[in-house]
Amino acid sequence: MQGLGELESAVMDALWNSDRPRTVREVLAELNRTRALAYTTVQTVFDNLHRKGWVHRELQRRAYHYVPTETRDAAAARALRALLDSSGDPEGVLLHFAQSASDDETAALRRGLRRRRSRP
């Protein structure tokens, strides 16, 4: 995800793939299935994500429980908007993307445009 480092992305994936708030210890256990990380490393990543506005935290007993501040789709759309805004030629970027889009992606874009037109 644009604006996130590799470990920050992994932590966000763990949160987005969960249906409930997660603690540092829970995410650490998940991440340590494929790598060896220290508790303090993951805690620092969560602190950074909180400071950047990617996660909300709530203290329960003696541990923070974290949830994403937005869905994965909303974060991706925000990143795409930032990319378009900074490109200097958003129309060109969109046209290049449209040419490379799969049939399923093209159908999804058409559905989204139809819904947009039908909004008041």
Per residue in 16-58, pLDDT (tens digit) is 999 999 999 999 999 999 999 999 999 999 999 999 999 999 9
The mean of the pLDDT values for the chain is 93
Tokens representing 7 are 């470990």
Inter-CA distances, 34 with 28, 30, 40, 53, Å: 11, 8, 17, 27
Q: Predicted confidence band at 68 (pLDDT cuts at 50, 70, 90)? A: very high
Given CATH 3.30.565.10, say whether it is the number of domain 6-68.
Answer: no
Its pTM stands at 0.82
Q: Where are the domains of the chain?
A: 6-68, 72-118
CB 101 within 8 A of CB 109: yes
